[in-house]
Amino acid sequence: MNRPVPRRATVLYAISATCAAIGTLLWVRGQTAPPRVYGSFLAADGYTSSAWRVWSPAVPEERFGLYLVAAGLVLAVAASLFSIRRD
């Protein structure tokens, strides 16, 4: 008979998924190229890149996003090991 997953493992899984999702979004944001101009027409119609930084200027958003994805994976493995150990 399988026992339910402990609440701590569920919280770790939720934090893991959140880190991975935010990390993926930051990585994608860092990978996007600036808008292209075709003649006098701006392709992104009024798009201006944001000067808002999530992290230090020394660490690009792509790298910070990858750090968050890695942290999410580590937390998922820890939650998995925690739930296996509790069984």
Q: What is the mean pLDDT of residues 28-48?
A: 60
Question: Which has more pLDDT, 56 or 48?
Answer: 56
pLDDT at 74: 93
Q: What are phi and psi of 42, to 5 degrees?
A: -80, 120
Could you give the C-alpha distances from 75 to 27, 50, 61, in angstroms and in order? Answer: 19, 30, 21
pTM: 0.66
Token match 């880190």: residue? 19
Length of the chain: 87
Could you give the C-alpha distances from 38 to 8, 43, 48, in angstroms and in order? Answer: 53, 7, 16
Which pLDDT tens digit goes with each residue over 52-79? 666 677 777 788 889 999 999 999 998 8
Annotated domain spans of the chain: 12-86
